[in-house]
Amino acid sequence: MSNTQNKAIALCEYLRLNHKGRKNAASGKTLEAVFNLNGKEIRKCVNTLRCDGFPVCSDTVGYYFAATQDEVDATIAQLNSRITQISNAKNGLLNSVAKIKQPIQIDICIELSVDLIVRR
């Protein structure tokens, strides 16, 4: 078992025992302190748990082990929203590549005015 999996299992058990339900959510900072991990490592563990089918939820309050299907559904809705935002950003970048490859036409108009003074 990998080190990430061990950390993920410990995090899952901690959330299940101490932070079940949204009303008992733990902030990311709290989990970082308890497990001596940084935010990226916590997110990686949460992702591992979710991929393995554990109902670890999160929102603006923090992370928690789901107590109800509604909590799971809310986290799924949040993930779907993020997927849509990321997909829109990707599509925008794909469109930008087409704009880079298109020749750019620039019309330049120069107006010259010359005053000739003839002296005799």
Q: Is residue 118 part of a domain?
A: no
| 69 vs 35: CA distance, rounded Å | 27
More confident residue, 78 or 115: 78
Q: Is residue 26 part of a domain?
A: yes
Contact in structure between 37 and 7 (CB atoms under 8 Å): yes
Q: Which residue range is the domain that position 70 belongs to?
A: 3-85
Specify the pLDDT at position 77: 97
Contact in structure between 20 and 58 (CB atoms under 8 Å): no
Report how many domains make up the chain. 1
Q: Is residue 8 part of a domain?
A: yes
We report the CATH number of the domain holding residue 19 as 1.10.10.10
More confident residue, 49 or 120: 49
Q: Is residue 91 part of a domain?
A: no
pTM of the predicted model as reported, rounded to 2 decimal places: 0.76
Q: Is residue 116 part of a domain?
A: no
